[in-house]
Amino acid sequence: MGLSPVELIGYLASALVVASLAMTSVVRLRIVSLVGSVVFVGYGLLLPSVPIVITNAAVAGLNVWFLRKEFAPNRDLGAVPIEPDAPFLLDFLRSHAADIAGIHPDFDAPRPGDLVLILTRDGLPAGALVGTPDGNTLRLRLDYVMQAYRDSRIGTWLYGRGARVFTSAGFTRIVAQADSEMSRTYLERVGFVRSGDELSLALAG
């Protein structure tokens, strides 16, 4: 016996909810869950089933609320300087070494004299940046954000309103050798432009 259109909608909604739970990105999880809950509302209306409609309308509302917070301009993002040999930093990099290697295969470890930042979201560690000073230029060696927060616009903030962490240290330019396609795409998206064999970002004074 074939499935009815209403049953197909119910299975689609269920598949979307299950798929959302497999997402490593917080934003993607919320978006897929939102779509799933909206489809479930339609399913509940077709049955009809008031409990399904009410429950999933509430879930949809919560997802919209959290997504608005996620992309709010006043999101609590930060960049905290840390010593290159700080145990917390080394432990963080070691914990995410496999993921980092996929984005920055040439990165080994922070060096003495490097500028190192722990990137935070809502006061919690979300990533790390490592750069080597070269006069008033910072040569970027690592810009890493954990998978869960890669859609949270940390990079847009860091190289935009958050760039004072660089300018206050005396840097007027950041350059990078994009050592993977993912890294190149990300850097271009946050404002870096190609300059010979490098990507470069001029910092506003």
Q: What is the pLDDT of residues 84-111, one digit of tens each?
A: 999 999 999 999 999 999 999 999 999 9
* pLDDT band, residue 118 (cuts 50/70/90): very high
pLDDT at position 201: 96
Sheet with 115-121, side-by-side order of all strands: 77-81, 115-121, 124-134, 137-145, 173-176, 198-202, 193-195
**Tally of helices (H runs) and strands (E runs) in the chain:** 8, 7
Q: Assess contact for 132 and 111: CB atoms under 8 A.
A: yes
Percent of the chain with pLDDT strictly greater than 90? 62
pLDDT at position 73: 63
pTM of the model as a whole: 0.75
Q: What are phi and psi of 29, to 5 degrees?
A: -55, -50
Give me the chain's average pLDDT, please. 90
Percent of the chain with pLDDT strictly greater than 70? 97
